[in-house]
Amino acid sequence: MSDALWRTRPDAFAIRPATGLRRRQITDFLWLSESNSNVYLVVTREGRVVINTGMGFEAPVHKAWFDSIDASPLRYILLTQG
């Protein structure tokens, strides 16, 4: 069994802005784009759900990758942080 996803999070000194390198598929319907604040894409039959959005300057990196995975409409954005 693999470690819980939250256990793989780097410490504060290792956190870096979003790039095209630190991203991965977690399940058949869930993708992670690592950044200052990790961003997740959930693909459903009704459209996409984005969990967190990262920092504003990282948005183009996350959006480009998520658009390449699935082109369905963005239905919801869930924010878990202030």
Tens digits of per-residue pLDDT, 21-46? 567 899 999 999 888 778 999 999 99
Q: For residue 1, is pLDDT > 60? A: no
Q: Give the pTM.
A: 0.75
User: How does the average pLDDT of the chain come out, rounded?
Assistant: 83
- H-type alpha helices, the chain: 59-69
More confident residue, 17 or 34: 34
- pLDDT above 70 covers a percentage of the chain that reads 73
- List, in sequence order, every beta strand (DSSP E) within 1-82: 23-25, 30-33, 39-44, 47-51, 74-78
